[in-house]
Amino acid sequence: MDLTYNVEQGRGVLTLDAQGVRLRRVHLRWNGTISERLTVLGDAWERSYGDLAWLPMQAERVLPWYCLVQDGAETHGFGVETGASAFAFWQVDTNGISLWLDTRNGGNGVALKARSLVLATVVTMQSLPGANAHQTAQALCRRMAPKVVLPKKRGKYSLGALYGSNDWYYAYGKNSPEGILRDAEVIREVAPSGAARPFTVIDDGYQDPKRFPGMQRLAEDIRRREVNPGIWVRPLRAPSTAASSWLLPGSRFGRHQERAKELAYDPTVPDARRAALDVVREAGAWGYDLIKHDFTTYELLGQWGNEMGPSPTVDGWSFHDETKTNAEIIREFYRDIRTAAGEDRIVIGCNTVGHLSAGLFDAQRTGDDVSGRTWERTRRMGVNTLAFRLPQHGIFFAIDADCIPITKDIPWNLTEQWLRVVAATGSVLLISPEPGTVGPEQKRAIREAFAQCAAQQTHSEPADWQASRTPTDWTSGSDHKRYDWLTEEGASPFPA
């Protein structure tokens, strides 16, 4: 086995040759004295789960993909370039810095055979004169994405502003064509004139042919309302009739064997890969020009991001093709999704690995679900991911911190604040409007938010993100805006 680390133009290129060795992980260590007074921030494997934060140094803390350290005056960062061939995480302690590279195939070591593989390229970022921590984080993201060039358009659609509706947070899978067309009419009424058209995205639930007898006709009906049609898909979900040789093993779920009944295609099996990609192609053939795909990380690796810790999947299983790392398999599947969707359609990833999807997908859901029923989930998940993954916005992809549920269960004064802060960042803005909740006051606020999103003016950023997981002070230039995310009862101490 041979591992080389070559520094080229300030970037450290790690290359592995491991013929005859099934390597599972690589651990690199840079020893040196580091102040214990630093605060530290990392990223997340896929979506965040309300857990991103600047925290005091914790030696065992797993910091996926990249890391920023702050001493009160200066901010420094280090990470690996996007599109890596291994899952990478960092650790920081008073004696040095560690980088771990997970080279497994499934839960076993990869069989590279005679292939030489560039595992990752390490980059660093020194504190920039006059830059705050958020701006340094943005600069690090740019440095990690030297090959990413985000298009300004997909076909006839501008990518400068993505806004509209999604039915999930009021329908929760019990949607209907009538409800979706109602959403489209609401969106058209409040959309700014002369700006890019909004989207109405159909979420899960449309698979029932009794409720949805004609998906192509529904796309046409949305378009007749001067709104662009979008749709949610779950490409790796396999039917019970699928050949067992096409499926991923249930052992990838480890102790969660109750999940094994959720069958999923193994994309390293050619026929299974075609079946998965046919789901994406079908959505395009129906006429949907925004395709949001979901569940791929969970189905490929058997864990949610907040279960992974230092190990994105459990030990003891393999993909059908054992010669590629998990990161390679995922990146190739993402590339195929992009191809299947076509270059003229917008693709949004959900439950996807941002460091592997950068430059392929136009937008990415960066946090766990908000809620149309419980405000605490929106406060924890939505505000946190908006603040802490905002440095990736417009560099890796457009970030989507999730929808703005407008429902009877959530007080409007809280919903309106969530609507306004998302609009102020220029990130993806999709409302989820329950019937009977959108009156004149709501329409006025949505109209203003959509206009702000479409204008693409100076974007807001969190000023107090180093002191709070759910920042309340947001700035745009010299303008400060404060938000109050708490109810009169305060935050719930219970799981949300």
Query: Three-state SS across 206-272?
Result: CCCCCCCCCHHHHHHHHHHCCCEEEEEECCCECCCCCCHHHECCHHHHCCCHHHHHCCEECCCCHHH
- Least confident piece of the model among 124-138, 261-275, 398-412: 124-138
Beta strands of 52-180 (E only): which ranges?
A: 55-56, 63-64, 66-70, 75-80, 87-93, 96-102, 104-105, 108-109, 116-125, 153-154, 157-158, 163-166
Residues 29-53, mean pLDDT to the nearest whole number: 98
* Sign of CA pseudo-dihedral 234, 240, 242, 245: positive
Number of H helices, E strands in the chain: 13, 27
Mapping DSSP to helix (H, G, I), strand (E, B) and coil, where does residue 160 land? coil
Q: How far apart are CA 344 and CA 74, in angstroms?
A: 42
Residues 139-151, mean pLDDT to the nearest whole number: 97
Query: What is the longest distance spanned by two Cα atoms in the chain?
Result: 69
- Radius of gyration from C-alpha coordinates of the chain: 22
Query: Is residue 339 a contact partner of residue 235, using CB atoms and an 8 Å limit?
Result: no
Instruction: Return the pLDDT at 67.
Output: 98
Instruction: Return the pLDDT at 457.
Output: 76
Q: How far apart are CA 215 and CA 219, in angstroms?
A: 6
Instruction: Return the pLDDT at 228.
Output: 98
pTM across the whole model: 0.97
- Least confident piece of the model among 211-225, 295-309, 333-347, 477-491: 477-491
From the centroid of its chain, how far is CA 491?
A: 25
Task: Give the DSSP H or E segment for 437.
Answer: none
Instruction: Return the pLDDT at 479.
Output: 86
Instruction: Return the pLDDT at 194.
Output: 83
- Model confidence at 273: pLDDT above 80: yes
Residues 31-58, mean pLDDT to the nearest whole number: 98
Burial of 31 (0-12, 13-18, 19+ CB in 10 A): exposed
DSSP, res 127: P
Concatenating the DSSP letter of every residue in 29-82 gives EEE----TT-EEEE--SSSB-S----EE--TT--EESEEEEE-SS-EEEEEE-T
The pLDDT-based confidence of 268 (bands split at 50, 70, 90) is: very high
Q: How far apart are CA 127 and CA 129, in angstroms?
A: 7
Instruction: Return the pLDDT at 8.
Output: 84
- Least confident piece of the model among 85-94, 229-238, 306-315, 474-483: 474-483
Residue tagged 């840079």 (tokens): 30
The pLDDT-based confidence of 455 (bands split at 50, 70, 90) is: confident
Q: How far apart are CA 366 and CA 382, in angstroms?
A: 9
Among candidates 20, 144, 28, 24, which has minimal Cα distance to 77?
Answer: 144
Q: How far apart are CA 232 and CA 490, in angstroms?
A: 34
Mean pLDDT over each residue of the chain, to the nearest integer: 97
The pLDDT-based confidence of 449 (bands split at 50, 70, 90) is: very high
Q: How far apart are CA 154 and CA 397, in angstroms?
A: 13
Q: Which two tokens stand for residue 300?
A: 């490929």
Single-letter amino acid, residue 413? N
Residues 396-416, mean pLDDT to the nearest whole number: 99
Instruction: Return the pLDDT at 9.
Output: 84
- In order of 22, 84, 118, 221, the CA distances from 80 in angstroms are 23, 7, 12, 45
Instruction: Return the pLDDT at 195.
Output: 80
The domains located in the chain, with CATH, are 2-144 (no CATH), 153-482 (3.20.20.70)
Among candidates 321, 337, 313, which has minimal Cα distance to 268?
Answer: 321
Among candidates 25, 129, 139, which has minimal Cα distance to 77?
Answer: 139
Q: What is the pLDDT of residues 362-402, one digit of tens each?
A: 999 999 999 999 999 999 999 999 999 999 999 999 999 99
Query: Is residue 446 a contact partner of residue 190, using CB atoms and an 8 Å limit?
Result: yes
Mapping DSSP to helix (H, G, I), strand (E, B) and coil, where does residue 468 land? coil
Q: What is the pLDDT of residues 49-60, one digit of tens each?
A: 999 999 999 999
Residues 262-288, mean pLDDT to the nearest whole number: 99
Instruction: Return the pLDDT at 291.
Output: 99
Q: Which two tokens stand for residue 97?
A: 């810095």
Q: How far apart are CA 486 and CA 489, in angstroms?
A: 8
Q: Which two tokens stand for residue 425?
A: 């960042």
Residues 423-451, mean pLDDT to the nearest whole number: 98
- Model confidence at 458: pLDDT above 80: no
Sheet bearing 473-476, strands edge to edge: 461-462, 473-476, 479-482
Task: Give the DSSP H or E segment for 168.
Answer: helix 168-171
Mapping DSSP to helix (H, G, I), strand (E, B) and coil, where does residue 200 land? strand
- Model confidence at 346: pLDDT above 90: yes
Task: Give the DSSP H or E segment for 19.
Answer: none
Q: How far apart are CA 378 and CA 485, in angstroms?
A: 9
